[in-house]
Amino acid sequence: MNEERVLALAGIFQACSLAQKLANEGRCDDAAMEAGVASIFRIDAPSVVGVYGSVATMRPGLRRLVSQLDESDRDMALTRMVVTVMRLERSLSARPDLLEQLQQGIVAAQRQVEHFGQASQQVTGRLAELYVSTLSLLTPRVMVNGNPQQLQQPAVVEKIRANLLAAVRSAVLWRQVGGRQWQLLLYRRQCSMLARGLLTGAMLDNG
């Protein structure tokens, strides 16, 4: 385990927990969501930190990762979602046609970012459509359970899908820097220590 892998892993946890919160409450941490959405467009970033802009933007994900690794009352639904996203990324890597379609869609969405701004409903809607037309066709499907009232709101569903796309982006990154699912079991303590170190560093940098 190293810091880059831990940060990419925190990216998956952050995006999945935002999707979960939206499904239950219809709202989430806008700054954390913005960091995840921004990562979708930073395809050629020179480092993992560069993909997210800074370690500070990943603090919610790092905190969530630590609590999932250390605490006895873990959120098993969140863990299942993260593992499903990792498996979905593997399915995507076996489908170069869908990967190409996804990359082209991201380039097209980038043009909307320049026009409307990254946090705009137009961009969120485009990313949600992209998720449906590519990743939703693959197995396993990511199941997001929550409040039926919230899940009937089109704007909420779009935000959930945009976050799931960001989660898959982080899963691609995690794989690229050598992350593997079994490492979560073998290196749990080391992973938690690295995440805590990143959190402390981010707080000092901001502080």
The neighbour count for residue 79, using CB atoms within 10 Å, is 15
DSSP letter for 138, please.
Answer: S
Q: What is the pLDDT of residue 73?
A: 77
CA atoms of 199 and 40, how far apart (whole Å):
22
Q: What is the pLDDT of residue 193?
A: 95
Q: What is the pLDDT of residue 52?
A: 96
- What pTM value is reported for the model? 0.96
Q: What is the pLDDT of residue 31?
A: 94
Calculate the CA 130 to chain-centre distance. Answer: 15
Q: In CATH, which superfamily holds the domain spanning 3-95+147-206?
A: HflD-like (1.10.3890.10)
Residues of the chain with pLDDT under 50: 207
Q: What is the pLDDT of residue 176?
A: 95
- Is residue 183 a contact partner of residue 65, using CB atoms and an 8 Å limit? no
Preceding omega of 140 cis (within 30 degrees of 0): yes
Q: What is the pLDDT of residue 206?
A: 63
How does pLDDT run across 136-148, given as a tens digit for each residue? 999 999 999 999 9
Q: What is the pLDDT of residue 95?
A: 96
How does pLDDT run across 169-205, given as a tens digit for each residue? 999 999 999 999 999 889 999 999 999 999 998 887 7
CA atoms of 39 and 36, how far apart (whole Å):
5
